[in-house]
Structure 1
Amino acid sequence: MIRDVKAERRGMAPRGTVWLALGCLLLAGCAGQASGNIGGWYSARGGVAPSGTRIYVCHAFGCALKTPFDFSPAHMRRLKAILAKGRKSPAAERAAIAEAIAWSERTIGPVVGSDKDVGGYDLHNAGVPGQMDCIDEATNTTSVLSIAARAGYLAHHEVASPVARGFFLDGRYPHATAVVRETKGGAAFAVDSWPEDNGVKPVIMPLDAWFAERS
C-alpha cells in the first residue's frame, strides 16, 4: 500500500487505509450469515419486516435508509396475476417470481429513488440514497416475496431467510441473496437481484450452485 505521508503527519489515516476500511465495512455487511429465520435477518441488519401489504425498502447500502412502500389493491392484483403464470410447476413459478421481482423494482423505484440503481458492487455509490448493495437487494426481494406468500400467491415455494457467502478468506467477495424453497422436497433456490440493474429480472439458480460461484 502506498503511504500517504501528509495525512499521517496531520494525524489522519492514510487515504489507502480509509478506502480499505470503508470497503471492508461495506462488504462485511454482505458477509453476515443469515439467521435461521427471516425475522432474525431483519433484526440483525436494521431492516423492518413487512406489515400487511407495506414493505420497508432498504437502500443506500446496508439498509442505511428504509422507505415505506404500500402495495395498493391494484398492485396486489398485478402481483397475483404475474405469479399465477407459475401455477403449473415449480420451475414455472420461479420464472414468474423473477418477473414479479423485476416488476416490483420498476414499481417501487420511482417512489424511493432507486429507479437508476446500478447492478453489482460499486463502492463509489455507497451511501447514495438511490443505490442498493446486496443486503438491500436480498432484504427487499424477501419482503416482496413474503407479502406474496402471505396473500397465497405462491403455489410451489415458501420464502426462506436470506443467506450469505464469501468473506475474503476463501478468495470471494462477501455476497447475500434472497432464498425460496420448494414446498415439496425442499430444494432451495437463490433469488439474486443484486447483479442486475433496477427492474431487470433477478438471477435464480439452485442455492448450492450459488454458493459454489467464485464471483
Structure 2
Amino acid sequence: MKWLLALALLAAAAPLSAGEAISVCYNYGCLSQSDVHYADEQLAQIQALLGTAESAADERAKLSLAMGWLLGWAGQQTPIAADRGGNTADNGVYGRMDCIDHSTTGTRLLRLLEARGWLRFHRVLDPVWRVLYLFQVHHAAQIEEVAATVGSESGTNAAQAASAGGGGGAAEPARYVVDSWFRDNGQPALVIDLQSWLDGREENLEP
C-alpha cells in the first residue's frame, strides 16, 4: 500500500504538461539566467507553424514568428518582458537583453527546434559576430540552409550562384542570421542573409 501512496503523490506532483525547459539570459552578457518552461500546447503551436513551411524562405519567415512567440512566452515567466529593441530604450531596466543575451538564448531556442526535427530546411550553427565602424561589436544566432534538392527553390539559387562563379564547384550553403535584439520582446525576430547583416544592412529583412 505504501508504494501506491508514493505513486499517487508523484502523480500529483508531476506537471500537467511535460513540455520542455531552457535557460534564458538577460541583464547583459548573460549576467542573469532563468529557466523557462514551454508547455506542450505552446510547442504544438510552434510545430504546427513550422510544419507548414514549403521552402527554405518560407521556413525563415515562419521562424521569425516562432522566435517572437517563444521569447514572448518566456517574458511571461521572466523579467525579459521588459526588453526593448536595441540597447537604449530599456537602459538600466531589470530584464533588459543585449546582443549576447539574445544570441545565446536564440541559439538555445533554435537548437530546441532542431532537436525536435522541426527545422526541415536549415541547421543551427554557433552564434556569429561582426564589427562595424571599428568598435561596434554585435552578436546573433545563425542558421544555414540544408543542402538543396534538385528542383527546389534553394536548388535554383545554388545553380545560379555556381553559374555566376564560373562553375568551379558547388556553391556554399546560404547562411542567415536570426537576430531578436532589434525588436521588442515578443516581436518577430529579424531574419536576414549573413552578408547583409555583416555589412549592417538590416533593412534587407525578408518578408
TM over 0.5: yes
- Alignment-derived partner of residue 158 in structure 2: none
User: Could you tell me how far apart the structure 1 residues matched to 2:52 and 2:100 are?
Assistant: 28
Q: Does 1:136 align with 2:117?
A: no
1:199 Cα deviation (Å)?
A: 1.0
SS of the residue 2:183 aligns to:
coil
Is the CA contact (8 Å cut-off) linking 1:65 and 1:129 kept in structure 2? no
1:116 to 77, 82, 85: 82
User: Could you tell me how far apart the structure 2 residues matched to 1:91 and 1:167 are?
Assistant: 27
User: Could you tell me how far apart the structure 2 residues matched to 1:117 and 1:168 are?
Assistant: 25
- Alignment-derived partner of residue 30 in structure 2: 63
Measured against aligned partners, the alpha-carbon deviations of 1:71-125 in whole angstroms (never above 9, x if no partner) come to 2222221221121132x10000000100100111111102112112110122972
Within 5 Å, give how 1:47-196 maps onto structure 2. Answer: 53-86=20-53, 88-122=54-88, 125-126=91-92, 128-166=93-131, 169=134, 173-184=136-147, 186-196=173-183
Taking structure 2 as the reference length, the TM-score comes to: 0.72
SS of the residue 2:77 aligns to:
helix
User: Could you tell me how far apart the structure 2 residues matched to 1:151 and 1:188 are?
Assistant: 21
Taking structure 1 as the reference length, the TM-score comes to: 0.69
Identity of aligned residues (%): 32
Is the CA contact (8 Å cut-off) linking 2:102 and 2:181 kept in structure 1? yes
Give the direction of change, closer, same or farther, for the CA distance of 1:135–1:154 in structure 2 (3 Å limit). Answer: same
Is the CA contact (8 Å cut-off) linking 2:83 and 2:90 kept in structure 1? no
Number of corresponding residues: 160
Is the CA contact (8 Å cut-off) linking 2:179 and 2:191 kept in structure 1? yes
Within 5 Å, give how 1:33-44 maps onto structure 2. Answer: none
User: Could you tell me how far apart the structure 1 residues matched to 2:189 and 2:30 are?
Assistant: 19
Give the direction of change, closer, same or farther, for the CA distance of 1:214–1:208 in structure 2 (3 Å limit). Answer: closer
Counterpart code for 1:192: D
User: Could you tell me how far apart the structure 2 residues matched to 1:63 and 1:183 are?
Assistant: 30
1:129 Cα deviation (Å)?
A: 3.0
Counterpart code for 1:75: Q
Q: Does 1:206 align with 2:169?
A: no
Q: Note the residue ranges of structure 2 that are not aligned, 5 or more in a row.
A: 1-18, 149-172, 203-207
Q: Note the residue ranges of structure 1 that are not aligned, 5 or more in a row.
A: 1-51
Counterpart code for 2:20: T
User: Could you tell me how far apart the structure 2 residues matched to 1:107 and 1:214 are?
Assistant: 29
1:53 Cα deviation (Å)?
A: 2.8
User: Could you tell me how far apart the structure 1 residues matched to 2:90 and 2:62 are?
Assistant: 33
1:214 Cα deviation (Å)?
A: 6.8
User: Could you tell me how far apart the structure 1 residues matched to 2:71 and 2:77 are?
Assistant: 10
Counterpart code for 1:153: W
